[in-house]
Amino acid sequence: MEEQKKPSSLQIESVVASDTKRFKVPVDSEHKAMVFWIFSFAAPHMRAFHLSWFSFFCCFVSTFAAPPLLPVIRDNLGLTRTDIGNAGIASVSGAVFARLAMGTACDLVGPRLASASLIFLTTPAVYCTSVINSASAYLLARFFTGFSLASFVSCQFWMSSMFSAPKVGRANGVAAGWGNLGGGATQLIMPLVYELIHNAIGSTKFTAWRIAFFIPGLMQTAAGIAVLTLGQDLPDGNYQKLEKAGDKHKDSFSKVFHHAVTNYRAWILALTYGYCFGVELTIDNIIAEYFYDRFDVNLRNAGMIAASFGLANIFSRPAGGLFSDLLSRRFGMRGRLWGLWLVQSFGGVLCIILGLMDNLAAAISVMLLFSVFVQAACGLSFGIVPFVSRRSLGLISGMTGGGGNVGAVLTQLIFFKGSRYSTQKGIALMGVMTLACTLPIMLIYFPQWGGMLVGPRPNATEEDYYAAEWSQKERDSGCHSASLKFAENSVSERGKRRDPSTTVPVDTTPSHV
């Protein structure tokens, strides 16, 4: 049998030149963007960025559209404090399983189809909120609408698939931060729409809040259509096309699941994310009513104060992602881990202080500072997640994101359901729990990069770590080629003190070829 000829250097250069011309941004050997041009809409990298954050933003607006109108809704439906607490828990509990499912879907069918499907499946619940007439219907509407928060997983998976290692922290941070901005924007949008319908059109207040829910419904519908028609899964195309052409290995659920659940780093990040993003979700549910009841401010002002917490996402979570990348440039993965622990711990301290405030101005000031740190910790978390696993990236993103929802559910069940604790005491105790649940970050260790307290293992390499997710048979058939490229491009996580190597640009032939 004739031996297969290796391509000549001239042929390789021709292919590289062709690859370079296909993209409007500089790319690495995986065709991931090596720059993050935030105001560009260049396809496919920057277009995916804008589609991911906007779709997540719309889902956030829908999920938290009820809390800013809660004083009116509770009077109309006769809701008790327990009803409100149960509905708040329901709004974030459904997304726990939805995020796990979304992570798996991203691994198997791609982020475009997974995200669009979820958006379309949850949109009817948003519209149905306008016709509910009981406490149980209110709970169910919030429960099913909350499933849409799983779009966060596709958002982060998409960014990790489109941007190179030195840029992935800021890409994840900005996309998620601008998406989370919906939690603050809805605190402004819903009271404004409500008052416009109530005062300008003349509808009764019990009718006005119902009509107002068509706005988040329409936003979510538009986002789903945009993702489905304009998005692309990977720099080189959509999953189905690449798998059919043989350019992408079609993975199995069992193997993706196995390598996710057996990686202890994923479980630690799920726990710690429960007390940065989980705390943020909890605050989104309680803060407007808290200021309305405790400091006797009117509905509009309570909404504006609550909005300022969520609106900080426009810079705080992106700043966390950028900070993670900057720490990595100097200190590698160990810098990312230290940064997350320090920022999230300080956020826990500020949460305790917020619960002790009895002056309106002081409470607002502490809340704003607290919002910066808790949201930055979210950005720092997803500066680490993309490096935990290459093969099971989607499911591990889902596990981490689901951990955020679990944290929110547990926190609301323990501290904000019923009358066992006052809201202010519950906030302070939530800060104590944040400090305790942030400590396990010290246990995360990568053999090739080290951990917070221990350096890397001698002779451990990135290639060894990511290739270990594939069997010898799979490696022999070349199924792990994408993992090898990712390993070469993640050498930058060693930091400047160990190795000055950076991402492999597209015009460099990887060593394993």
Q: How many CA atoms lie within 13 A of 138 on its CB side?
A: 26
Inter-residue contact 53 to 43 (CB < 8 Å): no
Structure tokens at 62: 């829908």
pLDDT at 497: 59
Contact 390, 468 (CB under 8 A): no
Please, is 326 exposed, middle or buried when counting C-beta atoms within 10 Å of its C-beta (0-12, 13-18, 19+)?
Answer: middle
Residue 212, SS3? helix
> What is the DSSP code (8-state) at residue 384?
T
CA distance 502 to 511: 14
User: Which spans in 263-315 are helix H?
Assistant: 264-273, 277-294, 299-311
How wide is the angle at C-alpha 298 spanned by C-alphas 293 and 299, nearest 5°?
90
For the chain, domain boundaries: 44-235+248-451, 462-490
Return the SS3 of 4.
coil
Q: For residue 20, what pLDDT is reported?
A: 54
DSSP symbol at 359: S
Local structure of 163: helix, strand or coil: strand
- What is the C-alpha to C-alpha distance for residues 338 and 114, in angstroms, rounded to an integer? 33
- CA end-to-end span of the chain, whole Å? 22
Q: How many Cβ atoms sit within 10 Å of the Cβ of residue 83? A: 17
- Spell out the per-residue pLDDT of the chain, length 513, in tens: 444 444 444 443 444 445 556 788 999 888 999 999 999 999 899 999 999 999 999 999 999 899 889 889 999 999 988 898 888 888 888 788 888 899 989 999 999 999 999 999 999 999 999 999 999 999 999 999 999 989 989 999 999 999 998 898 899 999 988 998 887 788 889 989 999 999 888 889 899 999 999 999 999 999 999 999 999 999 999 988 888 888 777 888 899 999 999 999 999 999 999 999 899 889 987 888 888 888 888 877 887 888 888 888 889 999 999 999 999 999 999 999 999 999 999 999 999 999 999 899 999 999 999 999 999 999 999 999 999 998 999 999 999 988 998 998 899 888 887 768 888 899 999 999 999 999 999 999 999 999 999 999 999 999 999 999 999 998 888 888 888 988 998 998 998 755 544 444 444 434 443
Q: pTM score, two decimals?
A: 0.80
CA distance 297 to 307: 14
The tokens of 250 are what? 């079609």
d(CA 60, CA 147): 10
What residue has token string 């009358």?
419
Question: Among residues 324, 53, 56, which one has the least CA distance to residue 169?
Answer: 324
Name the CATH architecture for the domain at 44-235+248-451: Up-down Bundle (1.20)
pLDDT score for 141: 94
SS3 for 383?
coil
